[in-house]
Every structure is written in structure tokens, then in C-alpha cells.
Amino acid sequence: PIKPWHIGGPVVKGFGRGSKVLGIPTANLSTKGYSALLSEHPSGVYFGWAGLSSQGLYKMVMSIGWNPYFNNTEKTIEPWLLHEFDGDFYGEELRLVIVGYIRPERLAFPLSLNFGFEKLQANFSSLESLIAKIHEDRRIAERALDIPTYSKYRDDPYLKGSS
Ligand code: ADP
Ligand code: MG
């Protein structure tokens, strides 16, 4: 369990890779003003609740990090809201309460290590395995957020944008 924390702001444009390459849209937030918070939390996959100004409250699973598969040079905050939207919502106020941590981010370069019989694959060898992993993360988030320990945070007033 982690101590829940908050991040919010208008949804900004990313590289447009989420939907197009992975079939997984991520509503990017600006990292401005969050460098201290981000350095306190390891890169990886988190889950929690998302409040999208006018539209409502949703479960979310998100990546914080460098996107090693794509060799990004800047850290990004990329929540995937677990809901089917009719369109984009760039510029809308998005507020997150992050309540749980699923896994660390993979290493930055494809790397195979041979230890006798064991072969450890450190990066995602294919886009397919990356996509499969993200869907596994989504299922973990969906289930965890139904547990009272995590579901109670959907009532966090921060999500409503009033504080
Ligand atoms: P970008 O690189 O600009 O973030 P993406 O391909 O990651 O583009 O798509 C993200 C955008 O898609 C969001 O900014 C949002 O406007 C829209 N979107 C639609 N459905 C969702 C969803 N379920 N979760 C997150 N973003 C979504
Ligand atoms: Mg995105």
C-alpha cells in the first residue's frame, strides 16, 4: 500500500502514440510543478481514480516514467481512463488520486541476460507483449479499485475540483 497522492491539471497533447500505436489512449498531464512529487515516486504503473471536470469520475491506470520502449527523454504522466469516451478531451481539467502501485517500469534498453538456464528479458521484445502487459495492468487496477481499501478514495473531494 502507498500513501495516496494527487496530481491534476489540463489534459495536454503528447506524441499521439497511445491510441495510434498501442490502441490505448492516455490523457497526458503536464509535469510542470510536479518534479518533487515525481522524484518521490518511482517510475512505473499506478492506479487510482480520475475526475474529469464536467464528465465524471472514472477508474484509471497510469504510467509515470520514461516510456523506455520509445526511448523518451522526458518523464511523462499518462493515465488511461477506464471508460469509453465519444471523443477527445484535450484542455479539460483532469484530477487524479493515485492509490496503488502495480509494477516498476522496464529497463531502458532491450537486454537479455543469461544465467545458466534462466533467461531474463528486461525490455518488451515486441509491441504485442507491451500491449498485453498494459491490459494485464488494467485488469489488476479494475479489480483493486473495487476493494474498499481503494474504492473509498473515489469520494476524495480533490477529484471534484473544488479544492
Ligand atoms: P497524446 O499523445 O496526445 O496523449 P493519446 O494517443 O495518448 O494522445 O490519446 C490521448 C487522448 O485521447 C487524451 O488526451 C484524451 O483527449 C483522449 N481520450 C479518449 N479516451 C480516453 C481514455 N479512455 N483515456 C484517456 N484519454 C482518452
Ligand atoms: Mg497520451
**Residue 25 CA: which ligand is closest?**
1
> Ligand 1: distance of its center to the CA of 68 in Å?
19
pLDDT at res. 75: 80
Ligand 1 atom showing the smallest separation from residue 88 Cα: 16
pLDDT at res. 127: 77
Q: In the numeric block, which cell numbers belong to residue 115?
A: 544465467
pLDDT at res. 125: 65
pTM of structure: 0.87
pLDDT at res. 2: 86
pLDDT at res. 94: 97
- Percent of residues, the chain, with pLDDT higher than 70: 82
Q: Which residues sit opposite 62 in a β-bridge?
A: 46, 79
78 among known catalytic residues: yes
- Here the ipTM equals 0.99
Residue numbers in the chain where pLDDT is lower than 50: 108-121
pLDDT at res. 150: 98
Burial of 73 (0-12, 13-18, 19+ CB in 10 A): exposed
pLDDT at res. 139: 98
| Residue pair 63/105 in contact by the 8 Å Cβ criterion | yes
Q: Decide whether any atom of ligand 1 lies within 6 Å of the 28 Cβ.
A: yes
pLDDT at res. 76: 87
From atom 4 of ligand 1, which residue's Cα is the shortest distance away? 14
**Span 73-101, pLDDT tens digits:** 678 899 999 999 999 999 999 999 999 99
Task: Tell me which of 15, 19, 60 to substitute to probe ligand 1's pocket, judged by most ligand atoms within 8 Å of the beta carbon.
Answer: 19
From atom 19 of ligand 1, which residue's Cα is the shortest distance away? 88
Query: Domain segments of the chain: what residues?
Result: 5-160
- Which architecture does CATH list for 5-160? Beta Barrel (2.40)
